[in-house]
Structure 1
Amino acid sequence: MTIFYYNSKKIGDLSIKSSAHETTIHTSRLTFKSLNQELQATLVCNYAKLLGDSEVVKFLNDGKPWSIELIQKVIDTKTSTWNNGDPFSLFSVYENETDQFIGSVSIKHELETYNTTGFGHPNVIEIGFFLDKTFWGKGYGTEIAIAAIKYIKHAVGVIFVEHVSSVPKEIVATAHPDNIASCAILQKRLKHVESEPITKYDGNPRLFFFKPLKPARVAPTDEVCLESLSL
């Protein structure tokens, strides 16, 4: 197992543990687990509750709760992505104090999806997250975003070269203009936003946030490493 330690001015210490194709991220309040560490039945139960809530999925597609069939399909796909050695897929997020499942964060490499967005955003890493409404207002959205950004920098700087030849140039995310909380988090963390909304998810408007990607300055090693993070 390889462990890397980082520090954030905003959320404190953060660790990234990797073993085979499994990855776990720890912050002081949250734990992120790659989907391939959990039983499918547990995942389906957790995600059915999360994505079956119309308030949580309000700004995605038609805003209707996700079906069990769709949830199972997504879980199968994202689990296979991890098992195939891709460093970017879906993490389940747990609250450390209670060990409760509170949401998810998706991290995906997009080579051409945003080529024609604004002045062009080819070869990017996109993040997106869901948070159980029970845990809204606790700052977890910000903590999830910071941890995801740190993991992307880590993966690109440490292990990404093992999987692709073209290093991504930006971290991006989209949010519905009416999703005030998510827009505020993304504006704060990614800094830049395209002047015109894009259309995505069945033609819905989305604000497009982006930030140049600067990989973590850590060489591949089996030793414990430490780097400061100013996020």
Structure 2
Amino acid sequence: MTEILTPRLRLRRWEEDDLIPMAEINADPDVMRFIGDGSPRNLEETADSIERWEEEWDEEGFGLFAVELLGSGELAGFTGLSLPHFLPEVLPDVEIGWRLGRQFWGQGYASEAAHASLEFALQDRGLDRVVSICRPANTASQNVMRKLGLSLERETVHPAYGHALSVYGIDLTEYAG
């Protein structure tokens, strides 16, 4: 089982008990405003997402980790690696991403979890490069990207929804950690 411990977090594969707390995160309009078409997701959609994330682990050898707080065991959200099929122009690059519940924002958890995922990409999976994609208005995610050493590479448009996207990237052979 793939697991990473950071000073405050445990990154791990998904468990059955994660469905309800992740569905609560996905149901929050503030959390979802920059994701896809900006709509909250329901329990069934969340279950489908978790199933796809687990399939990606099995097929690719990487995926999105459930992020658990070490102190409380509470699910904070996810971080990790995925293939960004929604934006074919960046493939075959692997995307690093994160989504945390609103109560976990502003505490450095996203940066801590994403840093561990970047180390995993480089050291455990041998990836040469990763990208991260967000809407230009998502300044919180852009701040995490910059903390990780990713640089803005280009602006593009979401092929399905037509809104602007910013693509950040990093060559992991130059990553300092």
Q: TM-score range by the shorter chain?
A: 0.7 to 0.9
TM-fit CA distance, 1:85: 5.4
TM-fit CA distance, 1:86: 3.1
Deviations 1:32-87 (A, max 9, x none): 1112xx22xx12212111101111111112222102221111122222333x3532
- Per residue, is there more helix in 1 or in 2? 2
1:107 aligns with 2:81: yes
- Corresponding residue number in structure 2 for 1:204: 163
Rounded to whole Å, the distance in 2 between the matches of 1:124 and 1:56 is: 25
Structure 2 residue runs without a partner (length 5+) = none
Residue 97 and residue 201 in structure 1: after superposition, are their counterparts in 2 closer, same or farther (change >3 A)?
Answer: farther
* Structure 2 counterpart SS, 1:49: helix
Question: Identity of counterpart residues, as a percentage?
Answer: 25
- Corresponding residue number in structure 1 for 2:139: 180
- Per residue, is there more strand in 1 or in 2? 1
Rounded to whole Å, the distance in 2 between the matches of 1:85 and 1:195 is: 29
TM-fit CA distance, 1:153: 0.7
Residue 129 and residue 201 in structure 1: after superposition, are their counterparts in 2 closer, same or farther (change >3 A)?
Answer: farther
Residue 181 and residue 110 in structure 1: after superposition, are their counterparts in 2 closer, same or farther (change >3 A)?
Answer: closer
- Corresponding residue number in structure 2 for 1:218: none
Rounded to whole Å, the distance in 2 between the matches of 1:88 and 1:107 is: 6
1:65 aligns with 2:44: no
1:132 aligns with 2:80: no
Q: Would you say the 8 A contact 1:24–1:34 is kept in 2?
A: yes
1:27 aligns with 2:6: yes
Larger-Rg structure: 1
Instruction: Output the TM-score relative to the length of structure 2.
Output: 0.87
TM-fit CA distance, 1:194: 2.0
The structure with higher relative contact order (CA 8 Å, sep 6+) is 1
* Structure 2 counterpart SS, 1:56: helix
Q: In angstroms, what is the RMSD of aligned CA positions?
A: 2.4
Runs of 4+ displaced beyond 4 Å: none
Aligned pairs, how many?
177
